[in-house]
Amino acid sequence: MPYKSQLLLGAKIGGGQFGEVFEGNDQVHGKVAVKVLKQNPGESTANWAKRSAELLKEAQHLQTAAHPNVVKVHNILKDSTNDVLHLVSEYCDGGSIATVYKNGPLSINTVRKIITDACRGLEHIHSCGMIHRDIKPGNILRHGNTYKIGDFGLVSDNLAFGYASGKGYLSHLAPEVFPDPVTNVYGPTSRKTDVWALGMTVYRLLNGHDFFFHKITGKNVAKLIPAGGFSKSLCWLPHVPESWRKFVRKAMHDDPGQRFPTAHALSQALAKLPVTPIWACKYARDQTIWTLRDGTRTVTVSWRIHSPRRHEWHAIRTGGGKRDFAVGGVPGKILTSRAAEAQLENFFTNWS
């Protein structure tokens, strides 16, 4: 499809509530990503006219956010024939980290790299006077060895709650954003609400999509988060260090004043967290397996859930030309869920 700008649209590479995303080619920037923004089903022509005018104005602002950890917005074009907008931005060859996250928990050293880069990008966005409002795995993209924040500037305060609700991301909204139970007025977003969302993103990456879906989906987070104590109630895979859990709880503190004050402050705290040992985790609801390369040998930890009340776990070291031997747990010994989780957490905490 040619346009006056000589922009050519190629294959569809993604989509969401704000529009479909296509590969594109621009005579100035070469390969680009193009988000096609158009009138939503049920949206009045008047509301779309107002929103598209706001998007065109916002695009001029977005282009000022030039940073290595921010997806560069080149321009926004309006096709008056179809009354659609085309947001043209930098193409990221690695796609979003949502795909990797859906494959399972990420190692803590990988999470630190991703979030460190995201913090740098978010700090720059904030310094430009903007709030992201939609920090999540799908909006962190990889280009080469660099991670970048994308899709900023599309969500406004008056859309934040409805958008997060519709996309299943209410857990990324800080308590002060939820509507007042008496007035039903939504609270404002801020840098601190972006910090909350970044904390929830860390939680998701450390535990993986399936664990998150199992433990969080189905809970009435629209009531739990405003009620307080949500971050303290989060369940964790047992290999995640307590220091990382405290880090997430601080980022997601009920009181905005007790959260990290800035994305930069969050990244400074992140830099102090341990990233070894590097356990690879493959999670399933009935059995979770961890592996660790220990010199020439491999440590494998297996956690089997026979039923909610019947668990067992054990760990063995293999390879290196030596005999296999147990290093934790007892195969076949049935434990309660609480006992199994406590023993596993103790095992991972004390492993060196």
134 is catalytic: yes
Question: SS3 of 177, please?
Answer: helix
Please check whether residue 315 is in contact with residue 301, taking contact to mean a CB–CB distance below 8 angstroms. yes
How far apart, in whole angstroms, are the C-alpha atoms of residue 9 and residue 24? Answer: 4
Catalytic position from the list 134, 194, 210, 254: 134
How far apart, in whole angstroms, are the C-alpha atoms of residue 230 and residue 221? Answer: 8
- Residue 19 CB contacts under 8 Å (≥ 6 apart), including other chains: 35, 36, 37, 38, 87
Q: Where are the alpha helices (DSSP H) in the chain?
A: 45-62, 98-102, 108-127, 157-167, 191-215, 221-227, 242-251, 263-271, 337-350
How far apart, in whole angstroms, are the C-alpha atoms of residue 115 and residue 110? Answer: 9
Tokens of 233: 């109630």
Task: Give catalytic residue positions.
Answer: 134
